[in-house]
Copies of this chain bind each other. A is one copy, B any other.
Amino acid sequence: MDKEKKFVQEITARDEDFAKWYTDVVKVAKLCEYSNVKGCLNYLPNGYAIWENIQKNLDERFKKTGVENVYLPVLIPESLLQKEKDHIKGFAPEVAWVTQGGEEKLEERFCIRPTSETLFCDIWQKIVKSYRDLPKVWNQWNSVLRWEKTTRPFLRSREFLWQEGHTLHATSEEAEERTKQMFQVYYDFVTQDLAIPLICGKKTESEKFAGAKDTYTIEAMMHDGKALQSGTSHFFGNNFPDAFGIKYLNKENKLCSAYETSWGMSTRIIGAIIMVHGDDSGLVLPPKIAPTQVMVIPIAQNKSGVLEKANAIVMKLKEENIRVKIDEREKSPGFKFSEQESLGIPLRIEIGPKDIEKNQVIITRRDTREKIIISIDKLTTEIPKIMKQIQNDMYNRAKEFLDTHIYTAHNLEEMKKISQNQIGFIKTMWCGNKECEQKIKSEIEGFSSRCIPINSTEKITDHCIYCEQKAKHIVIWGKSY
């Protein structure tokens, strides 16, 4: 028990200092380490394995909607980045510039891609000639670089991993439909696979992506009540395609504009998993995304027959495609329990001489610590059921937290009070005027508009909380990561 205690003590209590708790969890679970390049991460095996599962599940969902994967260059010539003026304005201050290649000083600088809209438009301009070449529904899994000043593991780093999907369509309607479709893919993936409930909607004019006409966002609430933008889907209209000279011949042989979308989800989402589900003992991973779903820990493993039986269970579970490991190290069970907990492994199986006598094992759920005694013969049918239950319970707990931490404010005074006394999001009415949004933002410290919810059944009956004119939208406000 002493060793167990010591292991857990490395993690600051979550409600004592949330920021320090977060850093401790990342460190103890060995997810990543800072590198020698300020703000750039080394993704260690435990952290990268989570990302691999995210990639696998999300990529399957993409491909079902007809997405094709590609890979475009890491470098963008300065002249290319400058072709769409809102875009360059948005990104120029935060890119890294390559000025020398081998022994030669370059005539034109290249930046390391901060995002690849310009590269996609560049290749489309070369290969799209007719309506037969459309749509293009492309995606790439890559890393991008933005020269951020302050950085935090997964949440904000200079280099991060993501996928960026880019599509080109013959009509504005088709492009808008694709924007919403990918937004729905993100929603389904995050709620179903990561067990994270979401608020979703459109960004206001001032919070949109540089160069986009519409930006759809999914926003998750962390355990400290702050918002984490977890995925975005942008409709560009023909801004980029026109700036890049992309035109196609329609069936009537007429030259037409094309319409573009882009959509991305990054390793930030790992930060959301940590901050939505984690607890004082460390990470809690949803079974669908956990690299190891079950850890078998033999008790009194030197007693004859224990390791054999434990390994037989491992084999049996592997055959059912359950991601299972066994911890046979010469350490105390307490140490192993504690480590398995900090790593967020959804289920632990204890098996010792007494269990073997009774043909049973003791299963412990990571999320609730509930212990379940199960006959060894029923393991392969029961474990998938328990994992399904964990996945649902994790979602429901987080959903209750989200629902009970959204407050409605009817005027600025109320909003101020809530923001000072509660953690969570604040819902208000808004006239749609940019100035009002700015004023609210500056008066309610730390808050910004997260989104205008869509598919909301709520009626707009009230007045803008700032100017008191007739309201046009409901807005969700929050502090953001």
Interface residues, chain A, with chain B CB atoms under 8 Å away: 33, 35-37, 40-45, 48-49, 51-52, 68-77, 80, 93-104, 109-110, 112, 119, 122-123, 126-127, 138, 142-143, 145, 147, 159, 161
Residues of B within 8 A of A51 (CB): 71
Q: List 21 A-B contacts (CB under 8 A).
A: A33-B123, A33-B127, A35-B73, A37-B110, A42-B70, A42-B119, A42-B123, A45-B68, A49-B68, A52-B69, A71-B143, A73-B159, A95-B102, A96-B102, A96-B110, A99-B99, A99-B100, A100-B109, A101-B147, A102-B147, A112-B112
Q: State which of B45, B70, B98, B126 has its C-beta within 8 Å of the C-beta of A138.
A: B45
| Chain B residues, Cβ within 8 Å of A123 | 33, 35, 42
Closest to A136 in B: B45
A72 / chain B contacts, CB cutoff of 8 Å: 35, 42-43
Question: CB-CB < 8 A to A95: which residues of B?
Answer: 102
Instruction: Give bound CA distance, A112 to B143, whole Å.
Output: 13
B33 & A73 in contact (Cβ 8 Å cutoff): no
Chain B contacts for A110, CB-based, 8 A: 37, 96
Chain B, residue nearest A71 (CB) = B43
Report the minimum CB–CB distance from A3 to chain B (whole Å).
15
Closest Cβ of chain B to A163, distance in Å, is 13
Q: Please determine whether B70 and A44 come into contact, CB atoms closer than 8 angstroms.
A: yes
Closest to A93 in B: B102
- B101 in contact with A40 (CB, 8 Å): no
Please state the number of chain copies in the assembly: 2
Least CB distance from A146 to B in Å reads 8
List residues of chain B with CB within 8 A of the CB of A80.
36
- Distance in angstroms from A149 CB to nearest chain B CB is 8
Q: How far is the CB of A129 from chain B (nearest CB, A)?
A: 14
